[in-house]
Structure 1
Amino acid sequence: MTTSLFADDEHDGTYCCLGCRQTIGRTYFPPNGKWGLKKACACVVAENEAREKEQERKLRRAKMERIYAKSIMNEALQKATFHNFIQRPGTEAVCKASADFVRSFEGRTTGLLMYGKAGNGKSHLAASINHELNRRGWVCLFLDVPQLFNLAKDTNRKDSKTSLTDIISGAIAADLLTLDELGSGYLTEYEFNDILFPIINGRQGKPTNFTTNLDLGRLANWFEKDKNGAPLDTDGRIYDRILGSTDIYENQGTSKRREDAIKRANGGRQ
């Protein structure tokens, strides 16, 4: 930059961007009788767009923190990272897929569906993804499914300052939503029609990660009927949407929790 951008000489203030090396000239503005920039270079445009995007994310994050103020991730998952995940036989593919997911997140439209035995690290990897993308500035929301249902039901209380619409719109608005423990317990008609379906349907085209202890056949059955055997999703509306919007990985690792318990029982020996 040389002199003021509003100097009287049309060449004063003309500059070359050190980023893209584009020379930015000036043009005369008759209304105020001043010279100003003809246009912003690509660097300035990109910088302004990035600033606007970050501001929009801050607003969404603040709104989400208000809506989900009662959501609590347990201490172990709060500390979960890729670095403290212990790879064991059978976890290699899902671990690599999780790391690749983070690297390729921008522009992704599909999430991950990780299934396998309880305690083998699915939630740890899902939480690690959540934390890393949060650290990089994305707006991420991690909820286990029973917790989501409880938060939604709490909106029916007279003193609730959050509505069911807030819960659903907040989950849809996240850059990444993680639903942990899908298939836990039994679905009710209310949970299916008023909570789960609107969220999953609303997030079509946006990445959503799922973890479940159920294999694909049992997961399909979980959606079909409620606790009393009444039909819920016999047409497979949610199941079909989940399969169509995720890359599916079976975590074939054994339960780390059980292995640790056996180790403690043996006085620290395997």
Structure 2
Amino acid sequence: MQTRQQLYAQALRQVQSRRQKAVTLATRTMERAREEIPGLDALLRRQALAEAAAGRARLVGGPDEAKAAQDAAAQARAQLEQALSQAGIRPGDLHPAYTCPLCKDKGEYEGKTCRCVHLEARALRRRELSRISALELSRFDTFELDRYPDRFVPEYNCNPRENMAEILNYCKDYARRFSTRNPSLLMTGTAGLGKTHLALAIAGEVLERGADVIYLTARTFFDQMEREKYAPESDLSRIVQEAELLVLDDLGTEFVTNYTVSALYELVNTRMLRRLPTIYTTNIQKEDVLRARYTEKTASRLLGSCEVLDFYGTDQRRREK
């Protein structure tokens, strides 16, 4: 997982690499054209002069002069195209075919990072997330409400399907209106109820809207943080502290130590102070269990910083078997 700075540096390199490839290909095509077409440079000069004359005539000449200049330019263009065609070369191949028409694959446009770099960074992040999660499968339109009981269940004190419909609509709205002012979410419920699915559905849509999104399982996060705890400032620490949206999945499955409790408090507190939303998913449903596992201080900070979404129903993964 890369930091945002590393991600954009890679995106810029890839955009500029496309420029270099386009320039190299056009240069080689021009060299080949010169070898195969005697007098190519004269044809190119003639076309350039004719196009320039036609442009001047349109601005300052009369209708007849403009028409004559335009005809001359068309004739020069046709002669060049015929010569190139006989050599199996298209006129456009003599010039670099840039991917981005704005910055011409330089990565900067009007003094700012070009949109193409932002798009490339977004694609890189999506590939990162897709390698470590079911991001591409977890969309709002693949979430199946009919898998939840459509009746009042006394144990849950609700109709699970109606409850999940409300949660689904809330998550859609959360993603559609995403900003760093969004609240953090704590999705709770037993295994297989769709917590990860909806967390990733939010992540996928928010990513498409241009925000930087990070997904980590709790076990991966705490294991790596513990390995890097003596580093002055680890990349992972920067990544989770800077992400505009962080998804920390399966909280409660990690091995608990004093360090993991401290790391969780630091994560929750830092992101809360920076006003950066986090989506936590956990199988822990009871507050007293959460407090016993992570201490009163950490659990209170977590609960106090989140909107809690309670998932009820039957393990969907078992139903699929």
Q: TM-score, normalised by structure 1?
A: 0.61
Does 2:223 match 1:150? yes
Deviation at 1:209, TM superposition (A): 0.6
Aligned match of 2:142: 84
Identity score, percent? 29
Check 1:209–1:122 CA distance in 2 against 1; reply closer, same or farther (3 A cut): same
Match among 164, 167, 171 for residue 98 of structure 1: 171
Amino acid at match of 2:220: Q
Unpaired runs of 5+ in structure 2?
Answer: 1-110, 149-159
Counterparts of 1:186-205 in structure 2, within 5 Å, are 186-193=255-262, 195-204=263-272, 205=275
Check 1:54–1:238 CA distance in 2 against 1; reply closer, same or farther (3 A cut): farther
SS in 2 for 1:179: strand
What does the per-residue CA deviation read over 1:118-138, in whole Å, with 9 as the maximum and x for residues that have no partner?
A: 011000000111111111110
Amino acid at match of 2:278: T
Deviation at 1:254, TM superposition (A): 1.5
- The structure where strand makes up a greater share of residues is 1
Q: Which has the larger radius of gyration?
A: 2
The number of residue pairs the alignment matches comes to 189
Partner Cα distance (1:186, 1:149) in 2 = 8
SS in 2 for 1:125: helix
Deviation at 1:214, TM superposition (A): 0.8
Counterparts of 1:37-116 in structure 2, within 5 Å, are 58=118, 72-74=131-133, 76-87=134-145, 88-89=147-148, 90=160, 91-116=164-189
Aligned match of 1:212: 282
Check 1:106–1:52 CA distance in 2 against 1; reply closer, same or farther (3 A cut): farther
Amino acid at match of 1:216: K
Deviation at 1:54, TM superposition (A): 8.0
Does 2:190 match 1:117? yes
Unpaired runs of 5+ in structure 1?
Answer: 1-50, 224-232, 262-270
Check 1:104–1:154 CA distance in 2 against 1; reply closer, same or farther (3 A cut): same
Partner Cα distance (2:302, 2:168) in 1 = 20
Q: TM-score, normalised by structure 2?
A: 0.52
Aligned match of 1:266: none
Partner Cα distance (1:163, 1:256) in 2 = 43
Tell me how large the CA RMSD over aligned residues is: 3.2
Check 1:53–1:117 CA distance in 2 against 1; reply closer, same or farther (3 A cut): farther
Check 1:154–1:120 CA distance in 2 against 1; reply closer, same or farther (3 A cut): same
Q: Is the 8 A contact 2:180 2:276 kept in 1?
A: no
Check 1:185–1:117 CA distance in 2 against 1; reply closer, same or farther (3 A cut): same
Deviation at 1:112, TM superposition (A): 1.3
